[in-house]
Amino acid sequence: LVFAFTMILAGKCQDLLGPRVTALIGGVLVGAGLLVISQSTSYTAWVLGFGVLTGAGIGFGYASATPPALKWFPGGQTGLIAGLVVAGFGLAPVYIAPLASYLVGEWGLQSTMMFFGAAFFIALSILSRFLKNPPEGYVPAEPESSDQNVVKELPAKTEQEDLEPVQRSEPERSMDASLVIKTASFWKLWFLYFIGAGAGLMVIGSVAGMAKQSMGNAAFIVVAIMAVGNASGRIIAGVVSDAMGKNLALAIFLALQSLNMFLAIFVVSSEGAMAFFIVLSATFIGFNYGTNLALFPAFCKGWWGLKSFGINYGLLFTSWGIGGFVMTKISGAIVASTGSYVWSFIVAGILLAIAAFVALRMKEPKSVA
């Protein structure tokens, strides 16, 4: 929840101060949070250090990368660029999970947290220097269509000429957050994000629990494989979105996510499910969950523009946090009352099917202020 709601403040910071400052703040907060929990084992210290400081730092870090990346590339590549950027976030468990498992065994929990705090602070402080918004008035050139791919001898352009403002045939879409939250289109997207991300987070914990029961200490392998599926889903969804359109892509992936939930029931309902099937289910669940993280930034840019993209997407991203919190609570209550994961997957599948239908009928706003 802290991560999700910090995205509003972090998004506004990105809009006003740029990505470098935003990323640096994220590095300071993450480093401080992990340092706090490295010095104490108390519940209060962990809530403050990991829940608040580290969660807020992740929010600032997440908000610092996508907006500048989308500003450098044309609208026809929005999905691909968003997918590539957020895939890095999805891939993090591939190295973090095994590294953390190893270091905790060698050094203990607190020393491991101190190491990660220092490492993340140094890495983010250095990498933030490479983040940059394009100059004022910069408009990325759309790639030529295939029927215009004629070899031409063109004069060389200087870097400055490449960055000169370009006259637009249509006015750039731009809408402030105060107006965005008053539109029906925002709340439709919010609902779809709530369901898409919430349903995924709802069952990811169940799969992780099953992996722990079936695979013991090797369960981190499932986490890593799920992360690979997660990152792949973000990139592929972005490519499909650019090729087929955002609405159709979202409807397709929500429907596939729904189907996957129903198919996974056969895995969770079997006693002592085989590790292979748990890994397979985890891969597809991670893939379909990841598609949300590429598609919704593309909607945000396409519908409301880039000028206030940071805060607009921050507001939309609250659905991810609330959805994950609410849906995991629902899943926990269902498992506690039934003693089985099956109904969690059934509920998630039904909600995703409804969301797919809504996405298919959703229309792009005709105009923006």
Nearby residues of 153 by Cβ (< 8 Å), 6 or more positions away: none
Q: Is 59:30 a contact under the CB 8 Å cutoff?
A: no
pLDDT at 158: 40
pTM beyond 0.85, yes or no: no
Between 79 and 209, where is the model more confident? 79
pLDDT at 252: 94
| CATH code, 2-134+172-361 | 1.20.1250.20
Nearby residues of 81 by Cβ (< 8 Å), 6 or more positions away: 69, 70, 72, 73, 238
pLDDT at 149: 41
220-272 confidence digits (pLDDT tens): 677 777 778 888 889 999 999 999 999 999 999 999 999 988 888 877 666 55
**Quick one: pLDDT band at residue 168, thresholds 50, 70, 90?**
very low
36-51 confidence digits (pLDDT tens): 999 988 899 999 999 9
Q: What is the mean pLDDT of residues 3-15?
A: 90
Question: How large a percentage of the chain has pLDDT more than 90?
Answer: 35
283-339 confidence digits (pLDDT tens): 888 888 889 989 999 999 889 988 888 899 999 999 999 998 998 898 889 888 988
Q: Is 236:296 a contact under the CB 8 Å cutoff?
A: no
DSSP calls for 179-207: HHTTSHHHHHHHHHHHHHHHHHHHHHHHH
Which helix (H) or strand (E) element contains residue 245?
A: none
Give me the amino acid identity at 43.
Y
């402030």: which residue's tokens?
176
DSSP tag of 47: I
Pair of tokens at residue 270: 């079997």
Please, what is the end-to-end C-alpha distance for the chain in angstroms?
Answer: 31
Q: What is the mean pLDDT of residues 341-359?
A: 90
Cα 258 vs. chain centroid, distance in angstroms?
19
Q: What is the mean pLDDT of residues 100-129?
A: 91
Q: Is 356:247 a contact under the CB 8 Å cutoff?
A: no
Tell me which residue of 354, 359, 362 sits closest to 261, measured CA to CA.
354
pLDDT at 220: 67
Tell me which residue of 115, 70, 76 sits closest to 96, measured CA to CA.
115
Structural domain boundaries of the chain? 2-134+172-361
Q: Where are the beta strands (DSSP E) in the chain?
A: none
Torsion sign across C-alpha atoms 282, 285, 289, 291: positive
